[in-house]
Structure 1
Amino acid sequence: MARPPEFDREQALTRALHLFWERGYDRTTVRDLTEAMGISAPSLYNTFGGKRQLFDEAVATYTGSPTRVVPPALEERTARTVFAKILDIAIREYGSSTQPRGCFVISDPVLVDERQLGRDAIRGRLRRAYDDGDLPEGASVDALTDYIDVILRGLSSLARDGADPAALRAAADVALGAWPRSVRG
């Protein structure tokens, strides 16, 4: 009969998430993980299945978090307020002192599928805004989706490089100021 783990699983998972977030999947070793999590390699394998399974669970934890940047903003009334809320959440989360800075999904090259899901969600919301007349005639939903993506990547990068919330807010305010304002009548 296997002995129950002698560590807090959720705390160990959070430590693994933060390590993956800081270093990325490819640059994180099992040894790095066991040291950060305070567990032995056999405990890691018995509890999580292995490095890849642990990473997948860490990603699921991150993407299922109520502090995600994009999903909470998508129900705002207008495309501009969607973008404003995305920026507000990004500034708060990317600069948080309770976790690694920046965005985990943006920072790890292996998370391309997760990034695409976010882009698709933004594109879908902007398509709806365009169809509702909330964006100017001729506005490119694809270009605006790319614009939001580029801004989020930039804010994440600035945060990872140590920018304070005021610098993130200043950049976000410039980005928001460039948002198209005219609507169809």
Structure 2
Amino acid sequence: MPAPFRPARELLIQYARHHRDRRNIATHLVGIPMIVFAIGVLLARPTLDTLPTPAGVLALTPAVLLWFATTLWYLTRGEFLLGLSVSLLNGALIMLGAPLADAGFVSWLAAGLGLFVLGWVIQFLGHYYEGRRPAFTDDLIGLLVGPAFVTAEALFSFGLLRPLHDEIERRAGPTHVRDLAFPA
């Protein structure tokens, strides 16, 4: 298995090789945030402790611990703007999911599992268009790279991280729409 601490640039290029069809990228822009949100919902229980902050009290949950660990990972991959952006996005999704932990057990579990499964269904639909299996089937670190990839795609759309975008396109190829009538 490849090392999990490779630079973001290399991780994104490897991931992009499985994600060149624009429809697949579009499904990931929906599915991956939905999955991160669902993980935030599911891991918002139990509250392990509370911490005072300038903004109030932070409930220390498995979701917050996971966010902290992944933030350290993203920020140490060598693309600071990307690492910061994906960490802030993931943090927002986790915070938005936290109130669902206060719902009844069945509502909390149904929302978390339902959104998690729906997010994956959307992902696999994208891979149908791509004609390739998901990147995590070759390297489990792809589960962490996915949120960085969709964040990078959003940043690219604003003209940010142009050198990274150009290198991904040079090494993984340009995006396209695969002809499903005549798949390669």
TM-score under structure 2 normalisation?
Answer: 0.30
TM-score (norm 1): 0.30
Higher RCO (Cα < 8 Å, 6 or more apart): 2
Judging by fraction of residues, say which structure has more strand: 2
Larger radius of gyration: 1
